[in-house]
Amino acid sequence: MRPQRIDISYDNRRIAVTPLLCIVTVLVALFGCQDRSALPERPTVAVLPIEAADTREETKDLADHLTKRFRNILSTRPEIRVTESGSAMDPALAGLQLVGKAQALDADYLLAGTLGQGEGRLKLALRLLEGSGEEIWEQGFESPLIYQAQLQEWIIEALWQQLPLDPQGLEGAMGFVANCHYPDDAMAILTLARTGRRGGGPASLAMVATADIEAGLLHLAQSHFYFGQIDALPPPQQPVVEKLALRSLGRAAESCPQHPDVELLRLIHTNELDINNAEDYLDRHPNSVDLYLAVADLHAAAGSHRRARALAREASLLDPLGEATRCRTRALLESSVGKESDCP
């Protein structure tokens, strides 16, 4: 009889296990669906404005340039979320302690620093802090003004070891510095020009001329797209302005193909971005608010509302203080089919 009782006991366990396996299978399937729509967790890094150590206008302009350059380089990495410049530099943060800034930006890391210059040399002090305000890294750097690229390489190499970044990505970051010499904003161009006219020598003047031309191409394209407001122009003017913008953008791409704004401007303002290639472009530009929102719009239009909302939430994390981002995110999170958004 004992063998028979064992068989009956086994049969009962099998009967009990069968529905349990079915439940587990369903849960795995559900979580699999959620994983496909949700985005991976990653720590947030906010690059705060580098402060000028003196009252000279050119010091402030170069500090702004370096702030944007470090943000642009770090933003190419998918391992971290890099706060949008507009939020990290928002006037609402003025007067807050570093812990308060971290809370407002929901940041796990803060990069802060001061810049001074004298006798043709730059002196930069950088600090990396946790969101709690605890300092985890501090280092000073000094370099002749003309060797900004080398200074940036030193800083990026040192910073790479302090953040949760893939060591294999360092080579690409160095390539960005080496191949894209021009500043990221127009004010830095003017600063370099003023410095060159003060006696920086032929090499400095040549660098200024190169920077002026290369940066001018990108900023000309940006001005056409953003400030020209192609869609708002009279229909006969739109193709002309768009052609000028794309021509400037193409020349900017030749000067610095690795600059994220080159491809992003083209994607956002042309018909190249569609739902079939959107995920590939997100992999290449993992920290672009505009791209996340544009792809979210594509998914919303295709009926993939869960994915659209996940992308919209990511955009809100990247730009927590941006009014336009909050409006567009809210529209995507609350949107119904066919409802038009009145966001800027």
Residue 11: is its pLDDT beyond 50? Answer: no
Q: Note whether residue 344 is domain-resident.
A: no
For 239, phi then psi, to 5°, come to -65, -30
Query: Cα–Cα distance between 12 and 144 in angstroms, integer?
Result: 81
SS3 107: coil
pLDDT of residue 47: 98
- Return all residues near 81 (Cβ < 8 A) that are at least 6 apart: 42, 43, 44, 45, 287, 314, 317, 318
Q: Report the CATH number that the domain containing residue 321 is assigned in CATH.
A: 1.25.40.10
Q: Note whether residue 18 is domain-resident.
A: no
Q: Note whether residue 28 is domain-resident.
A: no
Q: What range defines the domain where residue 303 resides?
A: 190-334
Residues 205-232, mean pLDDT to the nearest whole number: 50
Q: Cα–Cα distances in Å, from 340 out to 45, 138, 224, 233, 301?
A: 33, 48, 25, 21, 11
From the list 162, 212, 155, 156, the residue with the least C-alpha distance to 187 is 212
Query: Cα–Cα distance between 238 and 59 in angstroms, integer?
Result: 39
Q: Are residues 83 and 200 in the same domain?
A: no
DSSP 169-201: GHHHHHHHHHH--S-SSHHHHHHHHHHHHTT-H
Q: Note whether residue 90 is domain-resident.
A: yes
**pLDDT tens per residue across span 94-143:** 999 999 999 999 999 999 999 998 887 889 999 999 999 999 999 999 98
pLDDT of residue 177: 82
Q: Note whether residue 218 is domain-resident.
A: yes
**pLDDT tens per residue across span 156-172:** 999 999 999 999 999 98
Q: Are residues 197 and 330 in the same domain?
A: yes
Residues 291-303, mean pLDDT to the nearest whole number: 94
Q: Are residues 327 and 196 in the same domain?
A: yes
- Radius of gyration, CA atoms only, the chain: 25
Q: Are residues 253 and 320 in the same domain?
A: yes
Q: Note whether residue 315 is domain-resident.
A: yes
Residue 34: is its pLDDT beyond 50? Answer: no
| Last residue in a domain, options 145, 179, 213 | 179
Q: Note whether residue 224 is domain-resident.
A: yes
Tally of domains in the chain: 2
| Last residue in a domain, options 179, 212, 241 | 179
Q: Are residues 103 and 219 in the same domain?
A: no
Q: Are residues 152 and 237 in the same domain?
A: no
* Mean of pLDDT over the chain: 77
**pLDDT tens per residue across span 195-213:** 444 344 444 444 444 444 4
Query: Cα–Cα distance between 163 and 338 in angstroms, integer?
Result: 43
Q: Are residues 154 and 200 in the same domain?
A: no
Q: Are residues 194 and 326 in the same domain?
A: yes
Higher pLDDT, 16 or 308: 308
**pLDDT tens per residue across span 319-332:** 999 999 999 999 88
Residue 32: is its pLDDT beyond 90? Answer: no
Residues 22-30, mean pLDDT to the nearest whole number: 47
pLDDT of residue 198: 39
Q: Are residues 170 and 246 in the same domain?
A: no
In the block, which residue shows the tokens 């003196």?
Answer: 54
Q: Note whether residue 168 is domain-resident.
A: yes
Q: Are residues 272 and 172 in the same domain?
A: no
pLDDT of residue 93: 96
Q: Report the CATH number that the domain containing residue 167 is assigned in CATH.
A: 3.40.50.10070
